[in-house]
Each structure stands twice: as C-alpha cells, then as structure tokens.
Amino acid sequence: MTFQQYPSKGGIPSGNTAGRPSNPVIGDTYYNGQLEILEIWNGSTWVAVSAPPSTPQIVSVTDASTADAYTSTAGKLSVVFTPGSGGGTPSQYNAFTVAGGHSASSSSTTVTLTGLTPGTSYEVYGNGQNNFGTTVNTPNQAAVTPTTLPQVRTIGTASTSAVTTDVTVTWTNGNNGGKNLTSITITPFLNGTTAQTSQTAATTSSTSHTFTGLTGGSAYTFKVKATNANGTCADSTATNSITVPVFVTVDYLVIAGGGGGGRSGGGGGAGGYRTSTTTSGNNSSAESSLYLLSGTNYTVTVGAGGTPINNDNVYSNSGDNSVFSTVTSSGGGGGGSYNSVGNSGGSGGGRGDASGGNAASGTANQGTAGGLSATGGTRGAGGGGGASAAGNNGTGGTGGNGGAGLANSITGSSVTRGGGGGGSSYSTLGTGGSGGGGNAGDHSRGISPTAGTANTGGGGGGGNDGTGATGGSGVVILRWLTSSGTITVGAGLTADSTGTDGSYSYKRFTAGSGNVSWS
C-alpha cells in the first residue's frame, strides 16, 4: 500500500456498496457506510476487515473413513464449507454433529469430524468465526453414515466328528464397518503357523463354516476375517488346535452261519450275505463301503452254523449272525422237519412237512426263500434257500436242491459262497447249492447228510429217517487300501494272515468275536 492511496484530507474514502472505487488496487481501503464495515481490496473482491464473517454454507458432507482399520470410533466425515457473501474473512470453520457431541475445526474450508461410530448416521451443522465474532449456525445437513473396514470377528471353536474329516469353525460377527459385507474368509493354519488355502463362508451373515479337504492326522488352527467395499479387516485370533481324524475306507463281505438241515426234512438256508464289493444277497446291489476312524475299535463276529435237531416236530437251529461294525448278516434258517416247516433267516430253510403252505422267507437283500415240500404220497423235502437263488421245491420221491450261492472276488480270486442245503427224500436226495450247501442224506440207506462248508455260510443237508447236518460257519472278509493303514486284530478272533491284492490288503476272519482297528 502506498501513502498516496490514503487521502491527505477527509479520511478513508467512503460511500455505499455501489460507490466502491471502480479500479481499485490491492490494499485500497473503503468504508462501506451501507454495510457499516471497513473493506479492503484483496485483488479480486472487497473483504470486510472490521466485522465477523457472514454465515458460510456447507457444500458437502462425505464419508472420509474408508482407509482406517476398524475401531468403534474410527468413523470420519469430511465437511466442506464455502464462505458466505459479505462480512469478514473467516479465520476458522467449525463443524458439529447434531447427536453425539462430536466437533472439529479447521482454518481451511474442509473440516474432518473424527471419533464417529461406523454404521451410525450423523446430521452435521457448522459456522465460521474470526476475531470479530462467530456466525450463526448453518442449517442441519442430511444425515451421512461414516464407514470403515469390518470389525474384527470374534473367533469361536473348531470341532470335528467321528465320521468325517471335515472341521466346523464358528465365530461371532461384529459391526460391518457401515457397508455391506462382500465375503467372510476362513483360513486354516497347519500346526498353527503355516497358512493353507482359504475357503469362503456360504453367506455374509454366516457364523460357522465346515472346512473340507484337510489332511488327516494333521493339526490346524483357524482364523476368520471379513471384507466390505472398503477392504478386509485383520484376522481374528486363532481357534483351538484340532487334529483332523484319519479314516480308512473298508470294503466287506459278511456272511452269517448257515442253518442246520431238518430231521427227515428240508435243507438249511444259507447265512445272510452282505457285501460292498459286488452283488449282495438275493442279487441286490452292493452296499456302501464303511468309512472308519483310524485308531477306533470295531466289532467283528463270525457266526457259527446252525445245529440240527433230532425231533420230527421241530425245525433245526438257524445259524448265528455275523457282524462287522454296523453291518449284521442274519443266520440262515433251519430246515423243516418231518412235521414242521422251515425257519426263515438270511435265507429260508427248506420246508419239511407236506401240509402245503408258504415257504420260509429270506431276509431282504441278504438271501432267498427255502423250497416247498411235495404233498401226498412219497414226498421230497424242499431245499434251503441260497444267497443267489431260492431252494428248489421237493417233488414226489425227490428232495429239492439247495439254492445257489454268489461269487465274490474281494480277496482277488472269485469264490462262491452261501449255497442252500439239499432236501431229503426216501428216493432221490437233494444236493447242496453251489457255494457250500450240504447234500441231503438217508440214514435208512446209510447215506449221511453233509454239513455246509465251513466259512461259506452254506446250509446243512436234510436227513431222511434221521437228523440233518450242521450248517456251515460264516465268514467276514475285510479289504482296504494298503496305503490307508495296518489292521490290528484283537483277542477272541481267528483270522488268516493279512493278504494283498494289488493296492489292497485284506483279512479273512473264520471264527470268534472281537475287535479290529487300523493305524
């Protein structure tokens, strides 16, 4: 400012707003009597130098907290002002929230409110001030919600079951940072240190996830994190450490003991026949393999053959059940006597009496029905049912043949088991079905009935003028991938040495009851 710009007489130029100098230079001073303020030209406009500022306007209120890690007070809002028209130059702009008592100030036109709660909406107002005073407040602005990263999740537990290698991880969701989540990610850490491939929860509101594809026998901890449009929060703390179970897939052939042959009667039925490798009894579909936990004991029981009964009025004893874990095969039905029908079982015993009626039935998906006895005259007793085919009916003077068994290659070689026992007659005797069924006998002619073959579950042959024969004992054969582990056989069981067939190992149990496990 030069001295010449000040009049030597009469003081500072004055007048109304319209009378301001038309060609001012920076620093020219003018008293605006209309506004009753002293003004100075700043090069672009006349600025009041002796008055409080006029009320500013709020241009915008926007979320400014997207780069912050989540805390409950990490939210920020950016409030942008523009000066009001007339009045002094503001030296400070002030912003306030209507609720919560938050405030902030700045010498620039942008003021940042901090310490806000993400996800909570805030109305904002403000004012300006200088050395001469503070303006009235601006109107309240429309509510704006500050956002940030999602809150770190609170971890729960990791758990598994005795039937799967899957691990279920739980957690508690917190604040989403003011924006919708886009994903929740679960990461396993091998031995609690080495991150493995992550998986994503089913929904963004999930509080648990079942983790698949982990290595059996290995220990893991798990951490969870959430993502919204602003980014991903830090990992949660780790879960408890959990060791993934080791499982062995086991195939099986479980055949129960065959039924005893009847006195002057029908052949014994074959023991129930169940398998996961090929066709099951009565030509039904193979069953599912068992998925067993390593180091856990599982029951094996080999059923004995049924014994004959020397009584014309009672059918012979059924065979005993065979068991592996949850698989139970029913003992074969005893053959009917001279005056009794055959007994139902895994496969039905052959009918002995000639009074007509129904055949003894087999258990569903385990075996077939026994044959009927001829009626009238010189009769023949029915053959016992086999694993694959029903026992043949007896005819006048001819005993029915036992039903055929089923072939199975669980040990690598095809072996037929589960044949029904032959039915007796005064003339032509029934023969046992393929797969260990015993032939019928006639004591009056010195022909003894034969027992069912051991470890086939074959039915015993019926006897004429005397008792029938004992049913064959059952068998349990187990097969597993050699790489899955080694079997341990507990006390009480009789078993062959472990065999191999390609990549499989197998064990055949021939008698007894006890536990087995894998390691």
Domain-wise residue ranges, the chain: 3-48, 57-134, 154-243, 246-519
The predicted pLDDT at position 6 comes to 44
| Topology (CATH level 3) of domain 154-243 | Immunoglobulin-like (2.60.40)
CA angle 379-382-383, nearest 5°?
140
The predicted pLDDT at position 376 comes to 60
Q: Which residues pair with 134 in a beta bridge?
A: 129
Query: Residue 254 corresponds to which tokens in the numbers above?
Result: 């479980």
The answer to whether 269 touches 360, Cβ cutoff 8 Å, is: yes
The answer to whether 273 touches 408, Cβ cutoff 8 Å, is: no
The predicted pLDDT at position 197 comes to 96
The answer to whether 294 touches 219, Cβ cutoff 8 Å, is: no
**DSSP 8-class letter at 145:** -
In degrees rounded to 5, what are phi and psi of residue 395?
Answer: -125, 175
The predicted pLDDT at position 143 comes to 96
The predicted pLDDT at position 3 comes to 37
Strand ordering across the sheet containing 103-106: 103-106, 92-97, 124-130, 133-134
Residues 6+ apart with CB under 8 A from 3: none
CATH class for domain 57-134?
mainly beta
Please tell me the distance from the alpha carbon of residue 478 to that of residue 492, in angstroms, as a whole number.
17
From residue 288, how far is each of 229, 249, 362, 483, 518 by CA, in Å? 47, 10, 21, 20, 19
DSSP SS3 for 383? coil
Please tell me the distance from the alpha carbon of residue 464 to that of residue 376, in angstroms, as a whole number.
17
Please tell me the distance from the alpha carbon of residue 468 to that of residue 421, in angstroms, as a whole number.
10
Please tell me the distance from the alpha carbon of residue 403 to that of residue 235, in angstroms, as a whole number.
67
Give strand ranges (E) for 368-411: 406-408
pLDDT truncated to tens, each residue of the chain (519 aa)? 343 444 445 678 889 989 999 899 998 998 888 877 888 898 988 888 778 889 999 999 999 987 677 887 889 999 999 998 877 889 999 999 999 999 999 999 999 999 999 889 999 999 999 988 999 999 999 999 999 899 999 999 999 987 788 999 999 999 898 889 999 999 999 999 999 999 999 999 999 999 998 998 899 999 999 999 989 999 999 999 999 999 999 999 999 999 999 999 999 999 999 999 999 999 999 999 999 999 999 999 999 999 999 999 999 999 999 999 999 999 999 999 999 999 999 999 989 887 777 899 999 999 999 999 987 655 799 999 999 999 999 998 899 999 999 999 999 999 999 999 999 998 999 999 999 999 999 999 999 999 999 999 999 999 999 999 999 999 999 999 999 999 999 999 999 999 999 999 999 999 999 999 999
